[in-house]
Amino acid sequence: MDQVTARKFAKTQAPVRISSLSFDSIPGQSRLFLDYLRNPISLKKYYPNAVRAVSELSRFAPAVLANYHTDRKTLCDALVSINQDSGAGETTFQNIGRLREADCVAIVTGQQTGLFTGPLYTVYKAISAIKLAEDLTAAGTDAVPVFWAATEDHDLPEVSHAFFLDGRDMLISTDLGIESQGLTVGEVKIGESIRDTIANLFRSLPQTDFSPQAKQLLSDAWRPGTKVGHAFLRSIMAIFEKFGLIALDPQDPQLKRLSSPIYSQAIENADDIVTGIVQLGKELAADGYHTQVEVDDNYFPLFWHDGEGRRLALRKVGDGLYRAKDAKIEVTSGELLHLASQHPERLSPGVMLRPVVQDWLLPTLCYFGGAAEIAYFAQNNEVYKTLGRPVTPILHRQSITVVGKKQQKVLDRFHLSLEHLFLGVDALTERVAAENVARDTDELFTEIQQHIEGDLRRLGEHISQIDPTIAAHLKTRKRKIEYHLDTLKKKTLLASVRRDEDTNRQIEGLFASLLPRGAMQERTLNFYNFYNKFGDNFIEWLYASLDLEDTGHRIIEL
């Protein structure tokens, strides 16, 4: 772990210590992601416009602007309406005004519309885009941050939970409590149970000076009868009210009409798009990388929305003929072209096409994504090329773990770091027991194991003089004895900690706070978990802690 800095932030005067951890040290990272972080230029085959540093991005601005043909007035008029409905602050509307100008580019990110904004990385994406837009503007390239809310996705179970820490630092979850029935997530209406969900949540959370405000913000956004997409955007814009973030809902009717030409191009070139993606997938595999999205020859880059609002995948079943998945409906390419022209709201892009649609609507200079998005961007550059669009550079969003004073105190007590948690609960507990709680037990086991090792060695030497075959058999028995002793030692050390309620609770609290559900904190905990503790200070501390040139995982000690 590299030590970076210790700072004080002007607005809040709160001391924050920051360090950075290489993703090579974090389990579960794909080879493609790690190689991209180390040297994106070496992967030009998959990322044609990759950059070594964010400072290089401004050189792409002329090409982006030259290839941008969408009506900015219509776009920005739609954005004004969306952001008014989302409760955006004045700075957002100033930024929309800047976007109307022909020399302004967009720094884009986006995420599924999760309950109460979903995991923390949603906020980290947005704040990364805000920071880069401000840095580029200060350096002479006018840029504004845009957040694309993925309201067209239809996997409601994936986004219907939010996770928090209760007063004992134990993980608790909330649930939206409704079924989508195949509708896009953004169109699902929130039920009456949301009131009880919020009330029960705040009965479980620690009560602080900021709890009433946090509860009010969520209650104002997540109301019965409100659509999930609208509630999500209101929550996001409440967080970034002063930061100028521009919200974008791709289901907006004006934006759908602006998307019509790129939908039509995708339909007309569907076969070439699929051929290119499939071939690139084979090349990724040949180079030892994984394909994030499985695409076969019958793939189609657009979804079809039926009369009931369900979003259905299309599969090619013949020349120019497609069938809607889970429905006995077939459509021709001609019928799809008609929909694209006259009723574009009946279509939406799949994951391979969505970035191209996004960059058709917006003068996108770059996109901030996570590891999975970086992986599928390696596949979809063929879509850009087929449709004659400049390939958008993708950057990894800022990645952060927030360590509170309570967690840092426990880490210090047991001489641990975040990396030690990657060992897992049992292995870490054994370490704590051996070094702190049950040192005498660990030493006793070690002493006995050494004695047994010596005695078995002497016995083996003696037996080998009598019958070498029996001595070989002893080696097998020796390994079994060592295994059983080691197992007994682990069980004893674990038991010693579990009898120590205070230590056991502290270790459980560490994992719930820093590695909940076995994943990095940012992939589970919700932003409002921290807002409840720190209020508006939290987002300011996050912003002041950013370093867009740091490709590691940042650890912020509050």
- Residue 266 domain-assigned (yes or no): no
Dmax over Cα atoms in the chain, in whole Å?
96
pTM higher than the cut 0.85? yes
What would the pLDDT profile of 251-277 be if each residue is shown by its tens digit?
999 999 999 999 999 999 999 999 999
Which residues face 332 on adjacent strands? 321
Closest CA to 121 of 351, 326, 370, 306: 370
| Phi, psi of 461, deg, nearest 5 | -65, -40
Residue 463 lies in a domain: yes
What is the extent of the structural domain holding 465?
423-514
pLDDT at position 446 is 77
Residue-wise pLDDT tens digits, 302-359: 999 987 888 999 999 999 999 997 777 899 999 999 999 999 999 999 999 999 999 9
Give the residue carrying structure tokens 């180079």: 287
pLDDT at 395 over 50: yes
Select from 263, 302, 280, 292 the least CA-distant residue to 382.
280
Count, residues in the chain: 558
Residues 483 and 531 in one domain: no
Give, as one character, the DSSP assignment of residue 310: B
Which position has the token pair 């096409």?
353
Q: Domain check: are 62 and 141 in the same one? A: yes
Q: 408-423 burial by CB neighbour count: b if 16+ within 10 A, else e? A: eebbeebebebebbbe
Residue 50 shares a structural domain with residue 118: yes
Pick the more confident residue, 408 or 182. 408
Candidates 441, 370, 342, 317; CA nearest to 30 is 370
Looking at the structure, tell me whether residues 451 and 536 fall in a common domain.
no
DSSP 8-state assignment for residue 486 = H
Give me the number of domains the chain comprises.
2
| 3-state SS assignment for residue 226 | coil
- Contact (CB, 8 A) for 366 and 397: no
Q: Cβ distance 548 to 54 under 8 Å?
A: yes
Q: What is the 3-state secondary structure (H, E, C) of 217-256?
A: HHHHHCCCCCEHHHHHHHHHHHHCCCCCCEEECCCCHHHH
Q: Are residues 152 and 230 in the same domain?
A: yes
Inside any domain, residue 68: yes
Look at residue 36 and tell me if it is in a domain: yes
- Asked if 233 contacts 251 with a C-beta cutoff of 8 angstroms, the reply is no
366 & 499 share domain: no
Identity of the residue numbered 26: I
Distances (CA, A) of 341 to 220, 263, 299, 308: 38, 8, 22, 20
| pLDDT for position 402 | 97
Residue 474 neighbours by CB under 8 Å, 6+ apart: 456, 459, 460, 463
Indicate whether 353 belongs to any domain.
no
